[in-house]
Amino acid sequence: MKNRFGAIAIVGCVAVAAATYGLAATAAEDAPTKPAAQWQHLALTHEGANIQVQPLSSQIVRLGNDGWELVTVSTVVEGGETKATIFFFKKPQ
């Protein structure tokens, strides 16, 4: 008797999984396809280790107001000394 209920439970789970997959596949097929976003990229480089916060902050705010999004910040280090800081931005074309 236990094996019979176990088999029914397994068949039920398989049926639910198959139905769920079928619905997801149908929804994916019916969804309109959007072309991949085309991005513009910008690298703002600051030379040296000393960053003056106010001018840099103003520049970043201006870029944000123009639709640029800060993606990451990277530093260039040589001999244990920061030579430059690079701010990478992107925005849709």
Q: Are residues 58 and 13 in the same domain?
A: no
Q: Are residues 49 and 13 in the same domain?
A: no
20 is in which domain, residue-wise? 1-33
Helical ranges in 1-93 per DSSP H: 2-30, 53-65
Which has the closest alpha carbon to 73: 65, 23, 82, 2?
Answer: 82
Q: Which tens digit of pLDDT belongs to each residue from 24-71? A: 455 556 667 777 779 999 999 999 888 888 888 899 999 999 999 999
Q: Are residues 1 and 43 in the same domain?
A: no
Q: Are residues 48 and 12 in the same domain?
A: no
- Enter the pTM of the model: 0.58
Q: Are residues 43 and 85 in the same domain?
A: yes
Q: Are residues 81 and 60 in the same domain?
A: yes
